[in-house]
C-alpha cells in the first residue's frame, strides 16, 4: 500500500505543477462537537491549526545540514546521503532488485564511506534500467550542484527563501488533515471524533481554487524514515 501511495504522491506533485488536480473529489473531516462546530458549518470554513500546536511534534520539522549529505569541498556524497538514496529506491522495486541496486552502489563506495559524484552518475544509467521509475541522474545532479547554487547570486535569494520557509514552517503555517473515507473505524474511535460521539463532514474539493495546496500524506514507521 505504501508503494502505491508513494507513486500517487509523486505523480500528484507533478500534476500540481500544472494545477491539474487528479486526487479524490471528496475529502472528509472527523471532528468532535465543540464551540467551533456550528460557526464552521454556518460560515463554511475549515480551521487550519498552527503547526506548532499539532499533537505530532515531528510535523514540519526541518534541519539544515548539507555537511551530513556531502563534503562541500570535494562534493563527494557521504554515507548518509548514499543510504538515503538507496532507501528512496526501495518503494519502486522488488526486494531482489533493491538488493542488487544496493550491492552495485556499495561497490563504488570508498573506504571512508563516500562516493565520488561522477561514479554515481556513471552507474546511474545501469541503475535506471533496474529501477525505471526512479530518476537517478537528476537527483544526484541536484545534490552535487548544491555548493554552486549556494554561491550563485541569482539563485541564492531563492534558496534562502526556501530554507526560511522550511525552518519557519512550524510558526508560519497552518494545516488541516482530511481523510479519503468517512468510514475509518480508528478515526471514529479516537479523539478526532471523540470516541464515536463526534461527526464527519464531507467536502467537495473538485472545484476548490488552490488545489495545488492539497497533498496526499504518507505515514511511515520512524525506523524506516530516512528523509
Cα 84 from Cα 225, distance rounded (Å): 9
CA dist list (Å): 211 to 49, 130, 206: 19, 34, 8
Percent of the chain at pLDDT > 90 equals 6
Question: For residue 145, what is the enclosing H or E element?
Answer: none
| The pLDDT of residue 73 | 75
Residue identified by cell 500528484 is 12
The pLDDT score that the predictor gives to residue 30 is 92
The mean pLDDT value of the chain amounts to 75
With contact defined as beta carbons under 8 Å apart, do 112 and 89 qualify? Answer: no
In angstroms, rounded to a whole number, what is the distance separating the alpha carbons of residues 171 and 150?
Answer: 25
pLDDT digits (tens, 9 = 90+) for 176-215: 888 889 999 888 988 788 888 999 999 888 777 665 567 7
Distances (CA, A) of 198 to 48, 66, 68, 101, 104: 19, 45, 45, 49, 53
pTM (2 decimals)?
0.49
pLDDT at 155 over 80: no
5 within 8 A of 195, measured Cβ to Cβ: no
Ranges 73-87, 163-177, 181-195, 212-226: which has the least confidence: 212-226
Query: What digits encode the pLDDT tens for the residues 83-103?
Result: 877 777 777 788 888 889 888
Mean pLDDT to the nearest integer, 34-38: 86
Length, in residues, of the chain: 227
Amino acid at each position: 500500500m505504501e508503494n502505491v501511495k508513494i507513486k500517487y504522491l509523486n505523480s500528484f506533485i507533478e500534476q500540481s505543477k500544472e494545477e491539474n488536480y487528479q486526487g479524490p473529489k471528496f475529502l472528509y473531516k472527523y471532528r468532535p462537537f465543540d464551540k467551533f462546530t456550528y460557526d464552521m458549518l454556518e460560515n463554511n470554513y475549515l480551521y487550519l491549526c498552527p503547526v506548532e500546536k499539532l499533537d505530532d511534534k515531528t510535523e514540519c520539522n526541518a534541519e539544515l545540514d548539507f555537511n551530513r549529505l556531502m563534503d562541500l569541498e570535494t562534493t563527494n556524497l557521504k554515507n548518509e546521503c548514499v543510504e538515503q538514496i538507496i532507501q528512496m529506491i526501495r518503494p519502486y522495486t522488488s526486494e531482489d532488485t533493491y538488493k542488487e541496486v544496493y550491492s552495485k552502489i556499495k561497490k563504488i563506495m570508498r573506504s571512508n564511506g563516500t562516493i565520488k559524484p561522477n561514479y554515481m552518475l556513471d552507474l546511474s544509467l545501469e541503475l535506471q534500467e533496474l529501477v525505471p521509475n526512479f530518476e537517478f541522474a537528476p537527483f544526484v545532479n541536484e545534490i552535487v550542484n548544491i555548493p554552486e547554487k549556494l554561491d550563485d547570486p541569482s539563485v541564492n535569494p531563492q534558496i534562502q527563501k526556501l530554507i526560511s520557509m522550511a525552518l519557519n514552517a512550524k510558526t508560519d503555517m497552518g494545516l488541516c488533515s482530511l481523510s479519503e473515507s468517512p468510514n475509518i473505524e480508528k478515526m471514529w474511535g479516537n479523539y478526532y471524533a471523540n470516541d464515536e460521539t463526534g461527526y464527519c463532514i464531507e467536502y467537495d474539493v473538485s472545484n476548490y481554487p488552490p488545489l495545488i495546496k492539497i497533498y496526499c500524506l504518507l505515514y511511515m514507521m520512524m525506523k524506516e524514515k530516512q528523509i
